Structure 1
Amino acid sequence: MDGMQVIDWDLAVTTGTRLVRPGPQVSREEARQAVTELRTLSREAEGHVREFTKIHTETAPQPATIVDRPGWIKANVEGFRVVLEPLTQRMTSTATPPPAIVAAVGSRITGVEVGAVLAFLASRVLGQYELFLPPDPTGREPAGRLTLVAPNIVHAEREMNVNPQDFRLWVCLHEETHRVQFTGVPWLREYIRSQMTEFLLASDLDLPTVLERLRSAADTVADVVRGGEGNLIDAIQSPGQKEILDRLTAVMTLVEGHGDFVMDAVGPSVVPSVAIIRSKFAQRREGGSRLDRTMRRLLGIELKMKQYAEGSAFVRTVVDRVGIDGFNKVWTSPETLPTTPEISDPAAWIRRVVDAPALPA
């Protein structure tokens, strides 16, 4: 038992599962077909992605895991637990435990809130490469898991009225790119994890500061609902966290942008209706109800859309100028990752990393 739980994770799962909307109506047979086809297509996508990216992975990839909405919620709560572990340990090891009432109320409220956010996302996410899995009991650390949310993929293809097989392969291409990145670049996962841990530990955790931050977070919520620009992530971070977040944002922008770039580059040759899918999908990303748009802004998902665009522009420019092999120098080490300014100025990254004189042996 880990002393004081910062978040009641079981409550997060039950809340999320209770709140999530049921998926589209599909017969048993249709569901079974969708699952089988997604498994097959993820294998096919993987071949295309490896060949195009020239990133070689040692490990034979596991087949994709196909989940429903509650399954996605459970998987994400497990991932959160792994990422938040260091923070929980630090809060439990400080000399003065928080007053019991704060602990009791805190973990319940946050459990409900986490559940509610996950329920919102669970009906929208199509697929995800899960980086942070609970430790494998056999001790053979899995390198992450590719998850596809079948009901959401079926819902999206129906809503957009696109060719189901093309759409499924298209989604698989993006997610498979992430799998190839993280299995082919062995240090990447640990790098992101350590940045996240550092980010969490850099928060000034004394109660007055936290309350102060939460108050400003409440103002942010009010502001976004009125149509403002803020997001919760910005509202609750310390100056030390700003730097780390910059590094995290840069690496995530690269990883997401590379996913989009590969999907665009490979798409036309293997997904016949890729142009239709792209334009309909872009419209769908923009659309949604007022609540949808507000939630997306609060959770920084709007930011993520901008990131996709900036990241794939960076990758495209670099590949155009120095080819895929030149671009792949980005995966050499944390030092060769682009900084935030370099993402908007690919030439600067090329000068620093690709044209840099080789170090004397």
Structure 2
Amino acid sequence: MTSLGGVEMVDWNLAVATATRLVKPGPEVSRDEAREAVAELRRHAAASEEHVRGFTRLSPADGAGDTPVLVVDRPGWIRANVAGFRELLSPLLGKMQERRAGGPGGAVLGVVGGKVTGVEVGMLLSFMASRVLGQYETFAPPTPDLPGTPGAGGGRLLLVAPNVVHVERELDVDPHDFRLWVCLHEETHRTQFSAVPWLRDHIEAEIHSFLGETDMDPSTLLERLREAVQSLAGGGKPWTAGTEKEEAEADGEGRSFVELVQTPAQREVLGRLTAVMSLLEGHADYVMDGVGPQVVPSVAEIREKFQKRRAAGAGRLDQALRRLLGLDAKLRQYRDGERFVRAVVNEVGMEGFNKVWTSPNTLPTKGEIAKPADWVARVHRKTD
């Protein structure tokens, strides 16, 4: 645990407690309904393996095919993600401790910062915990209550049962079809990482490179988190179209939290991370819709309703938070990545597309995500 003067820079236990206390309750279900939803998600997750592997023609590497599937509630998702953040941010917090422990910023954070930052991180997580349907958790170490794949960084597939039930009711779609559809997406992520052994280490190295370029003292980190929470509480400008939005972006408001803490030196790394995340998310969307017609009878209805929900959000506060946390960028990743995958598969087939998994050098650049033909030309040595 990274600390200053014996006080944690981020009180992760307080972050968990805060998020768990503030997270909205899930939908009302009977005990039998809850058990059935959990059991069906587990069945669909198991069935999705064969569907996804057959469609993508990707198979797990030796010893990588037994990643656990965990059906969790909202507090379970919070605990898993706090563990992941703690693991990823430890180098940054260690760097901040070494460089700033004796300065005024370090003194401020050493007195109250750990508690304050823990509360603010918890507030942000409480918002996210009611919206995530599923997640392939790549970096968190295994724990007794949240097991992971030994020797693979704790890789595990999380399905957030109350959120799945909430959305299927909100969309008024067939619950059995929707649950399988969600599992197809998340199983694709599990297949990506289990079939491509170098992928996890590559992404972790890029994240550490991004964090390594951060030149921020503890008081600045605390201030950035405070800005985020103030926006969450409605203290910032509403995100409106046209001139007001442009002015807000011009004077530094309206940016995502990722952008707020970004330095110019990090833009190149962030561009590569954006490209690989667009690939992974777009590939999962392409697979879930490609497999869907064979096993999900109402896939067209689900996709249409889900796309409208994904684009609209739940209101102005929700839109502000999505922008603050960079979720609008994630929505673009789904769209742009799926377009890239579809274009490449149409051009060179699934086997040709799968050359993307050969090495980090065959991953698309951010520019190639927007222009798939450039990736085909580079990797397949083709010209127009």
Question: Normalised by the size of structure 1, how large is the TM-score?
Answer: 0.92
Match of 2:56 among 53, 68, 72: 53
CA RMSD in angstroms comes to 2.5
Match of 2:278 among 242, 246, 253: 253
For residue 139 of structure 1, report the CA deviation from its aligned partner.
5.9
For residue 224 of structure 1, report the CA deviation from its aligned partner.
5.2
For residue 231 of structure 1, report the CA deviation from its aligned partner.
2.0
- Contact 1:143-1:182 at 8 Å conserved across structures: no
Look up the match of 2:12: 9
Match of 2:169 among 158, 175, 179: 158
Match of 1:81 among 83, 86, 103: 86
For residue 2 of structure 1, report the CA deviation from its aligned partner.
3.6
Matches within 5 A, 1:257-336: 257-285=282-310, 286-336=312-362
Look up the match of 1:108: 115
Structure 1 unaligned residues grouped into runs of 5+:
none
Match of 1:240 among 265, 274, 297: 265
For residue 351 of structure 1, report the CA deviation from its aligned partner.
0.7
For residue 241 of structure 1, report the CA deviation from its aligned partner.
0.8
Matched, 1:193 2:200: no
Look up the match of 1:144: 155
Look up the match of 2:71: 66
Look up the match of 2:251: none
Aligned residues: 357
The CA deviation string for residues 276-308 of structure 1, in whole angstroms up to 9 with x for no partner, is: 111111122123122111111111111111111
| Distance of 1:62 and 1:139 partners within structure 2 | 9
- Contact 1:35-1:66 at 8 Å conserved across structures: yes
Structure 2 unaligned residues grouped into runs of 5+:
246-253
Provide the secondary structure at the position in 2 that maps to 1:355: coil
Provide the secondary structure at the position in 1 that maps to 2:280: helix
Query: Structure 1 residues 48, 225: closer, same or farther in 2, change over 3 A?
Result: same
Match of 1:171 among 147, 172, 182: 182
For residue 94 of structure 1, report the CA deviation from its aligned partner.
3.2
Give the residue type in structure 2 aligned to 1:131.
T
| Distance of 2:119 and 2:224 partners within structure 1 | 20
- Contact 2:181-2:296 at 8 Å conserved across structures: yes
For residue 91 of structure 1, report the CA deviation from its aligned partner.
2.3
Provide the secondary structure at the position in 1 that maps to 2:135: strand
Give the residue type in structure 2 aligned to 1:89.
G
Return 100-109 or 323-332, whichever deviates more. 100-109
Give the residue type in structure 1 aligned to 2:30.
S
Provide the secondary structure at the position in 1 that maps to 2:43: helix
Query: Structure 1 residues 101, 212: closer, same or farther in 2, change over 3 A?
Result: closer
For residue 124 of structure 1, report the CA deviation from its aligned partner.
1.0
The CA deviation string for residues 210-265 of structure 1, in whole angstroms up to 9 with x for no partner, is: 68977997998866534335322222211111111111101000100101111111
Question: Normalised by the size of structure 2, how large is the TM-score?
Answer: 0.86
Give the residue type in structure 2 aligned to 1:81.
R
- Contact 1:216-1:235 at 8 Å conserved across structures: no
| Distance of 2:112 and 2:80 partners within structure 1 | 25
- Contact 1:143-1:183 at 8 Å conserved across structures: no
Matches within 5 A, 1:211-230: 225-227=238-240, 228=245, 230=255
Query: Structure 1 residues 22, 220: closer, same or farther in 2, change over 3 A?
Result: closer
Query: Structure 1 residues 208, 121: closer, same or farther in 2, change over 3 A?
Result: closer
Look up the match of 1:120: 127
Provide the secondary structure at the position in 2 that maps to 1:146: strand
Query: Structure 1 residues 108, 350: closer, same or farther in 2, change over 3 A?
Result: same
